Each structure stands twice: as C-alpha cells, then as structure tokens.
Structure 1
C-alpha cells in the first residue's frame, strides 16, 4: 500500500501544482463548449440575476488532463468521451480538456488531482507505481497473449473491481476507464551504432527512456541497456540531442508524437503493453453528487464506452502504422522465432523478483490473468 507516500507527495507538491486548477497557468482548454440552457438564460436580458444564479448552480465544470496529442486516435476518443458526458448530462456537466500534457506529466497531474485542482486525469501503469502498485502486473513482459487478452482482463468484472478497489485504497481515486494505449504491443525505437538490434545483447549500452517503473528498468538491465527516467514530453529533444538513445513504446504513440523523426531503428518484440487508467478525484466525486448519483454514473458509463470506442479507432489506424513508420525512414526489424525466444527469455527472467507473496505483483492477479488468457 502506498497511500502514505501518496499523501506525503501531495503535501510536498500540491502547492506548486494547484495553479493548474485556477486558470493562472496560461493554458487554454482544448475544447470550446456550447453554453448550456441555464448559461444562455443568464446571458439574456430576461435572465437577469435569477438566470445567472441558475447557470452557476446547474453547470458543473470538470477539469480533465491527459497526455494524448491532437491527430491521434486516442485524442479523438477523448473528445468523444467529453461529448458523451456533456450530452448525456443535458449540459449539466462541462468538461475543460487539457491535452498534450499541458498541465504536467502523468505523475504531476495525479498529484494535482489528489490535491483537488484537477478532476479527471490519466496515468500509465508505470507512472502510477509511485502511488499504487495495483496496475504493476500490466508491466510484466510476456504476461499477455495480445491486446484483446489485456482488454478482456480489464472487462472482467471481478478483476476490474479488485484493481479499482486497490487503487481507491491506495490513493482515494476511482478509475473511470482502463486503456490499452496504442492498441498493440510495445516496440523498441532507438539509435545505435551497428544497425538494428536483432538480439537482446545488441541493446548493451543503449540509454533507454523509462517512466521509472521498476519492472521496466529490470527488463532493460536484462538486455544490458541503461535506464534514464524522463517525462514523455521531454523525449523528442532528448533523442535529438542524444541524452537518451531510445524508448520502449507503442507504434501509434511513437509515430503520433513524431519520435520517428529522431530514431533510426525499430525492433518489434511483441512482449509488453502500455496499460493506463483515467482516474476521478475525490473532489470530482463530490461535485457530481457522490458515488451512485445520476451524474456520477453518467461519467462512469461514458468511461466504459470510451474503452471500446478508443480500441475501434486504434484498430483502424494499426493497419497502416508500420508502413508510415518505415516511410518516415525508420528501419524496422522483426526477429525470427529463435531470436524472439531469446527476447522472451529476458522478460521471463524479470518475473522472479516481482511476482509472488509479499512482492509487487501478487500471484493471485497473475493467475487470474493467465486464466482469462486461455480463451485467446
């Protein structure tokens, strides 16, 4: 349990981040929303003070921060999530959306939400590990057979409740939805002398950007690569300047964030996925009238709809993404069966230190995931 650590972090950092919830940061929300009927009444001469009071009382403003950038399927899906909430609430909820990490990286927006200045935020499993290990299992290399397996895990009501309860117990926030970022396994994108890496040992000495996930860093160590903790929004410049040599990311996100412009090689190892979660703060729950209220359920239902809608948009994009990456000048290498076996062996070697009783990932959740995977 990391609740104590999370609360200490909030006390230390919230003061510096709370400005993001007060409009004093110069950031402009990504979506300009249409006024609700109450707001229109307030603006009309006939509305007067009564209309202004109604508008203030009726409209709940939620601040929503995420890392997705315009032009990607993930961002398009987030916009649909916002539209669904506003339409189903009949204008009672207005969402201010801050994309592209405008208000900070994953860890910073989680802290801001814990401090009360943001309402809905997104964090990858790796970044959430500073505050909760509930999603640590999703970082295990080789655990999932494919994207559909991971999605099925998140849609399983028993497992979903276990994860949600663990996150709430650790940081007092409620998961709105779970994502399989990029809809495909992570691949290695990097620069190195000697060409594309065919075997794990070829990555020796390569400086890899990491979220700080212990499991991810242990995997890089198995390859002989070094880990450099870094915010994602700093990565383009870092790759350009050689501060880091590579990243372990999903193809759509790597391409969408233009990181193919500053990497020469890609090795497809189909071993790990990037899971993430959108979280609702305690303050947001209270704004909506508490758990189980009509507005709370509207947001939660929109979150579940977002999962499948986002998967659909990503699947449509995946068919051509590797061609686009190669067109950008990246040399793509797909290991053969014997080579991929060596990559998978490095992933399995990580499990011993992190899976089991009293360790980061309970054996119980691994067994549940494996059982769900029998259908794939």
Structure 2
C-alpha cells in the first residue's frame, strides 16, 4: 500500500474517531500528535501540558499524546489540524511557514542578537501577533517552545567555514527559507522527513543535517554523524498549535484551561531545555562526536543576501524583521 493511500486511510480513521472526542462520560478528549521521540524535552513539555489540562479541568478535559510520527509527518499533522481531524500538534516554525507565511521570519539566519532578545520578541506583541496569524489558515498558535539554535552535523568532515558545505547534501525541513539558507552557504538543501532522516544519513541520501543538540542526541543521529559544528545559524522556536475547528468547539472555560496549560508548559519547557542541551553535548562527546565552534562571521556574511532579497521580494516580511531588530 503506498503512502498516499495510508495517509488517506489515516484521515478516514481520524475523522471517524473525532466524534468520540466527547465520550459518554462527558470528558473532552483532544488528540495531540507530533514527530519527536519520547525522550525529547519538548515531548516532556507536552506531557506537562496534558497533566495541567487534566488538573485544571478536574479530569473533564484530556489531552492524549501520540509521539514518534504515529499519526503522520509534521506536514501531514498540520493538514489534519486544518480539517479538524486532529486537535493539536507541535510544529517547527520553519515547517509552519508553508501554511502561515509570516512564520518564515523566524527562519532568517542570525535574526536574534542573543537569547534575551529572542525571548523579548516571542513574549512581546510581535510574538503574540505571529501566534495568531495562522488563524486565517485554520491554525491557532498557543505558545512557543524553546528549540535552541540550529547548527550543522555531518558524517565525513566538520563544517568550519561555509566553503566546507560545498558539494554536501544537507537535510532541511520543508521550508523555502531553510533551503535558501543552505544554498547561500554553498550546500545542497535536501528535504527529508525527520522520521526518515536516520536512514537517509546511513544510506548516504544526505551527507548531514542541521538541528539543535537535544534533537541530534535523542534522535541518535550522532551515531552516524560524528561532527557537530556549532555555528548557530538559526534560532527557530517550536510552536504549539491547535485546530481552529477544535478551538472553536471548546467553551470559554475549556479554552482558558487549554491556554493556561500551554503557557505553563512553555515556562516548564524553557527550564528543562538548557539542562537537556548540556546533557546532550556531554553525552555526544563521550560517544566520540567532535564538537567545534567555528567563527560565525563568515556564515553571517554569506547569508546577508537573504535579507536584501527579502526586502525586495517580500517587503511585508522584511518589515517584521525590522520590528524584531528594533526590540531592545
């Protein structure tokens, strides 16, 4: 059975089961699917969210979590949200840009000055507005999760300068911004589903990828890629989103429970993310991964043309860049 048929069947199953979300016990069950493994800190944050929803509602409302791409890839999960067959998912802002164009601003390399600047943006008016922008596409952002900074990891040699990416096939998410960034740095961007990436690395379909340290560690990609070059080219937040069809089916009290639980889970996730990053780097070094910290300036210079192009081609997105840069 091909993938399209499997996906179509999964939609039918979910559509059929959606009516059971309001069970005979009058409990409201919301399904949350995502692509990460159960040891990932973001999965832990989602468990925390589910716990808080149950506590706040006195058991009247349940968030049921399906990790490891059980219900589909990141893109497929977002599509299921749009038709209301799935309640919630965690998605990278990079993958979300294909559905909500303003989200692509987060994929611009070296956008934030530092962690404090990023947090000010996400927790301020700009961040709040961007969370709600996808509503016109039937998706509502609830909160941001820290997803660290993305850097390159490779199989055969470290990436110390942009020139080292020449001729390398680098896995990217389904994001035009991510593809343009890798092209600007001299690499060959190759979209691969996160769940299929380990095999793609093993088989040489790609020569490397780019991600944060906890994801590299929990995915076990470090077993194949022994070079991690921390150039920190992007700081893409993860976004917890809910189907607007599901959100609008909740009463005001249920919406309040869910939003409060999401906000509290984000605070919790930021705390455990730093710990997970430190642990991941330590454990990967023990496993023989060579970690390096290349000079970022050549990388910054190589991608500067992306901002020039953005200003001309998408002035509305460039305006958001300017607003972000103006945040103190």
Same fold flag (TM > 0.5): yes
Q: How does 1:137-286 map to 2 (within 5 A)?
A: 137-156=105-124, 158-169=125-136, 171-181=137-147, 184-192=148-156, 195-286=157-248
State the aligned residue count: 320
For the structure 1 residues 220 and 172, does the alpha-carbon distance in structure 2 shift closer, same or farther, using more than 3 Å as the test? same
Inter-partner Cα distance in structure 1 for 2:282 and 2:131: 38
| Cα displacement (A) at 1:346 | 1.4
For the structure 1 residues 95 and 294, does the alpha-carbon distance in structure 2 shift closer, same or farther, using more than 3 Å as the test? same
For the structure 1 residues 110 and 93, does the alpha-carbon distance in structure 2 shift closer, same or farther, using more than 3 Å as the test? same
More displaced, 363-372 or 240-249?
363-372
Q: Which residue of 1 aligns with 2:299?
A: 343
| Cα displacement (A) at 1:105 | 1.3
Superposed CA deviations along residues 270-305 of structure 1, whole A, max 9, x for unmatched, are 22112221111123123312xxx0111110111111
Inter-partner Cα distance in structure 1 for 2:42 and 2:132: 26
Inter-partner Cα distance in structure 1 for 2:82 and 2:7: 8
Report the secondary structure of 2:143's partner residue: strand
| Cα displacement (A) at 1:262 | 0.9
Inter-partner Cα distance in structure 2 for 1:258 and 1:135: 28
Q: Which residue of 2 aligns with 1:107?
A: 75
Inter-partner Cα distance in structure 2 for 1:88 and 1:216: 39
Contact in 2 for aligned 1:142/1:271 (Cα 8 Å): yes
More displaced, 66-75 or 96-105?
66-75
Where structure 1 has 5 or more consecutive residues not aligned to the other structure, the ranges are 1-11, 25-53
**Which consecutive aligned stretches of 4+ in structure 1 deviate over 3 angstroms post-superposition?**
12-17
Q: Which residue of 2 aligns with 1:353?
A: 309
Matched, 1:116 2:97: no
Report the secondary structure of 1:75's partner residue: helix
| Cα displacement (A) at 1:78 | 1.0
| Cα displacement (A) at 1:147 | 3.1
Question: Which structure is larger by alpha-carbon Rg, 1 or 2?
Answer: 1
Inter-partner Cα distance in structure 1 for 2:106 and 2:9: 31
Inter-partner Cα distance in structure 1 for 2:311 and 2:119: 21
| Cα displacement (A) at 1:191 | 1.6
Contact in 2 for aligned 1:133/1:360 (Cα 8 Å): no
Matched, 1:332 2:300: no
More displaced, 80-89 or 217-226?
217-226
Contact in 2 for aligned 1:153/1:369 (Cα 8 Å): yes
Inter-partner Cα distance in structure 2 for 1:355 and 1:300: 35
Give the one of 249, 268, 274 matched to 1:315: 274
For the structure 1 residues 15 and 282, does the alpha-carbon distance in structure 2 shift closer, same or farther, using more than 3 Å as the test? farther
CA RMSD of aligned residues (A): 2.2
Inter-partner Cα distance in structure 1 for 2:222 and 2:233: 20
| Cα displacement (A) at 1:268 | 0.9
Report the secondary structure of 1:369's partner residue: helix
TM value normalised by structure 1: 0.80
Give the one of 357, 360, 363 matched to 2:318: 363
Report the secondary structure of 2:32's partner residue: strand
